[in-house]
Structures are given as C-alpha cells and as structure tokens.
C-alpha cells in the first residue's frame, strides 16, 4: 500500500506536483479540511475531496495525471438533446438551492467523498469566497419547476471546475451540462475543468490535458478577473444553439 504524501498546511500545497512526480499517484493528504486550505487547494489547480478514517476527517488533494478540459468552441450537443429542449422547457439557475443541492449530491452517491467536514468548508466558500475561489450550485429545473439535475462547482478567475452532481430524470444530466457549457461560454470563461476522464465528458467535447500543462494554464487563467453569473434563471433554449425556434446549430 502506497502512503500518500502528507501536506500539513497551505504552505506545503505548491509542493504537491513535485511530491507526486514519477510516482504514478494522484493524491496527497491533509488533516486540515477547512475553507482556507480548500480554497488555496482549488486556487492552485487541485481538486478537493475528503474521507473519514477512524473518526478523523482527511482532505484528499487530487492532482490528476490528466485533467479533462472543455474549450467552448468544441461543445458537442447531440440531436437528441436538441430535440428534447425543443419539446420541453428547462431553465438553468445558480445558487438558488445551494444547501439542498449539496445534500442531494451527497445522498445520490453511495460512497460520497463529500463528507460533512468538506461540505461545511464548501458552504463557507459559497458564503465567503477566499483565495479567489467561490463555490456554486448549478440547478436545472423542468417544465413543472421541479429540480431535475444539479451540480456543485467552483469558480476561480476565468476557470470553472465541476465537483459532483446528480440527475433525477433520464437525460437531464446531459441537458444541464450542455446548458452550463453555453452559459459559461456566454459569460466569458476560458474553459471548463471537468476533472477525471469519463466517456460522457468526451461526448460533450472535453479532452485530456497532461498535469504540467493543465496546472500552468489553470494558474494563469485563475489569476484573471472572474466572469459574472446571471442572477435569474435562463431558458436553456436561449443558451443552446439549435434548441430554440428558428435557431441554427453552430
């Protein structure tokens, strides 16, 4: 069993790539699971996760060997998603139900890394951003106004990173992601950081980026002024090309 390197405080976080170099591993550990530590972790381009061990909360600092990145000119929308958006009205909003989204995300995944300690830290970063990092909920509501898909993520400068999410109806998870991609593009984000490599992310248009190249680009973009988010729900048919009446795909 490989024991991950332990990071005692924020000052040790810049050493994470060097500690993992040549090991084939992706994780460091820390006993600190608080908003300051997690905000700095996100600012540097690492993904915060957590676990419980013998009653103690541990921060899992993930520095992917390859990170999936979506650059907005290459967003792919399936014909099925466009057809469904033409048939049914869906709306995308941010931060309207943050605590409910966090609770449902944790329940939705049986072995969730969203522990109570990490959840409390993310809530604090939602209420009081630090290190340039603000945490958000993205909510997709259906024709009846019910929440059908959602995710947690964070903004740091011109980068947006997804953490985890859920969907309650077939196909709505992809609708939420497609709509969010075009919302981020409209707002002026540089890219969407999607974390680990999973086929549905490739279907959306994301591609893997090697660790060193990702961290260099992420840190440059993270230093930029953050784009704004809309204050009201947005009709997904207005966001997604080809989904509204008379709209043409791009």
> Do the beta carbons of residue 156 and residue 125 sit within 8 Å?
no
pLDDT tens per residue across span 146-200: 999 999 999 999 999 999 999 999 999 999 999 999 999 999 999 999 999 999 9
Backbone angles phi, psi at 82, to 5 degrees: -65, -45
> Looking at the domain assignment, is residue 40 inside a domain?
yes
Res 4 pLDDT > 60:
yes
Q: Which domain holds residue 49?
A: 10-64
Q: Are residues 74 and 26 in the same domain?
A: no
189 and 227 inside one domain: yes
Residues 53-105 have pLDDT tens digits of 877 899 999 999 999 999 998 899 999 999 999 999 999 999 999 999 999 99
Q: Which residues contact 36 (CB under 8 A, 6 or more apart)?
A: 10, 130, 131
Alpha-carbon span 137 to 150, nearest angstrom: 7
In this structure, are 172 and 101 located in the same domain?
yes
User: Is there a single domain that holds both residue 41 and residue 123?
Assistant: no
Q: Both 181 and 87 in a single domain?
A: yes
Residue 249 forms part of a structural domain: no
If asked whether residues 120 and 230 sit together in one domain, one would say yes
pLDDT above 90 for 249: no
Same domain, 35 and 146: no
Same domain for 220 and 129: yes
Contacts of 157 (CB under 8 A, 6+ apart): 132, 221, 222, 223, 224, 225, 226
Q: Which two tokens stand for residue 82?
A: 């466009």
Are residues 69 and 216 in contact, defined by beta-carbon separation less than 8 angstroms?
no
Residue 143 maps to a domain: yes
Same domain, residue pair 121 and 222: yes
Q: Are 51 and 28 in contact (CB under 8 A)?
A: no
119 and 181 in a single domain? The answer is: yes
């Amino acid at each position: 069993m490989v024991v991950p390197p332990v990071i005692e405080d924020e000052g040790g976080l810049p050493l994470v790539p060097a500690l993992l170099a040549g090991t084939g591993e992706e994780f460091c550990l820390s006993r600190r699971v608080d908003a300051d530590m997690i905000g700095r972790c996100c600012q540097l381009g690492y993904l915060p996760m957590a676990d419980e061990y013998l009653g103690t909360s541990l921060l899992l600092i993930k520095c992917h060997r390859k990170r999936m990145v979506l650059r907005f000119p290459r967003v792919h929308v399936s014909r099925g998603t466009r057809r469904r958006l033409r048939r049914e009205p869906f709306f995308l909003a941010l931060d309207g139900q943050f605590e409910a989204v966090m609770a449902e995300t944790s329940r939705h995944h049986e072995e969730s890394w969203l522990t109570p300690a990490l959840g409390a830290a993310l809530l604090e970063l939602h209420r009081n951003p630090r290190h340039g990092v603000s945490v958000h909920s993205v909510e997709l509501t259906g024709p009846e106004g019910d929440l059908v898909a959602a995710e947690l993520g964070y903004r740091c400068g011109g980068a947006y990173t997804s953490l985890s999410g859920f969907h309650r109806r077939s196909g709505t998870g992809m609708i939420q992601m497609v709509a969010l991609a075009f919302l981020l593009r409209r707002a002026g984000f540089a890219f969407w950081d999607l974390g680990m490599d999973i086929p549905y992310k490739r279907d959306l248009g994301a591609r893997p980026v090697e660790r060193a190249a990702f961290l260099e680009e992420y840190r440059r973009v993270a230093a930029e002024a953050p784009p704004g988010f809309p204050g009201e729900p947005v009709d997904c048919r207005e966001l997604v090309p080809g989904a509204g009446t008379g709209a043409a795909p791009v």
